[in-house]
Every structure is written in structure tokens, then in C-alpha cells.
Amino acid sequence: MERQIKFDNLARFIEYPTLDRDWGVKTTPEEWNSKAAASHLSSYFAGFEGQTLDARQEMFVRTFDMNPNCALEIGWHLFGEDYKRGEMLAYLRREMREVGIDEGTELPDYLGNVLRLLGRWNQEEAGEFVHIFFTPALEKMKKAVSGTETPYSHLFDAIEEVCVTEFI
């Protein structure tokens, strides 16, 4: 699977569930270049099996909106409300514009937006960003959901595995 498609898929999986959201994905190790990522994604989708859209939306809100420790903005995890976050937001917004990503209603440091950007950056630029910024923020998000019964913990593991496979 092409890197851009892979990261666009991961971005879709972390977004608020809607009726038009495509929940199907290939989870073979060959498609993801990682047996572990494919396994984590299978567990993620299995966690939502049989759930209504309302139940999936409630899970999203409970996991992310009601838990500030698991906010989906990576800059917040790294800098809080410090001006350095503003610098990151401006940088990401500029980079997103340059590669044609519409940030939509979310801030540029929203995990889905950053995943889309990682899929479009060159190997060196993406690898450096993953190492310095992305991985530390993702670790904080993973910690916030550890011990909970949310399928999103499997998605975080898959995202981490894909980033390690692609960039580290």
C-alpha cells in the first residue's frame, strides 16, 4: 500500500465516526508492511463489531472529548498552551497548504491532519517529525487510554507500528 494511502486510512480511522465513514480496510501484513500493525487494526475493528453508529460516536466522545489527557492535538500534549504550540500550528498549517491538505474544522496539530501530512512528506522530513514530536505525543495518548476498554488503544498501537516501520 502506498504510504499516502496508508496514512490517509489511519487518519480516517481516528476521526469522529459518521455514516459515510469507510470502516473497511485491508489488514493483511503485506498491505501494511507489518504483521503487528495488521493485527492491531484487526483488533481495533473487532472492538466496534456489532456497534451502532451512536455507540461508536459515544465511544469516541468518551475516549477523546471527555478525557483531556487523550486530546487528539499533538501540540497540546507537547506544549500545552505555550506559545511554542502556536509556532507548531503555524508551521503545520503552512506545510498542509503546501501539499494540498484541507485542515477542515480541526486544528493543524489534530492527529488526523498530522497523519495525512506524514503520508505526503518526504522520508527524511517525516522521520524527523515522528522522532521529535509525533512519537512523544502519541505515547501520552496511549498512556491515557491504557487500562481502558476502548478499541482506540489498538489503533494507537497500529499507528505507532506503522510509523516505526515507515520512518524509524
Domain of 34, CATH number, reads 1.10.3480
pLDDT over 70 (residue 1): no
pLDDT over 70 (residue 24): no
Q: Give the residues across from 110 on adjacent strands.
A: 73
Banded pLDDT at 93 (limits 50, 70, 90): very high
pLDDT over 70 (residue 29): no
- The C-alpha cell that represents 49 in the structure block: 463489531
Banded pLDDT at 127 (limits 50, 70, 90): very high
Total count of domains within the chain: 1
Average pLDDT of every residue of the chain: 91
Domain extent at residue 14: 3-167
pLDDT over 80 (residue 23): no
Average pLDDT over residues 117-145: 96
Q: Which residues neighbour 2 within 8 Å (Cβ) at sequence distance 6 or greater?
A: none
Percentage of residues in the chain with pLDDT exceeding 70?
A: 93
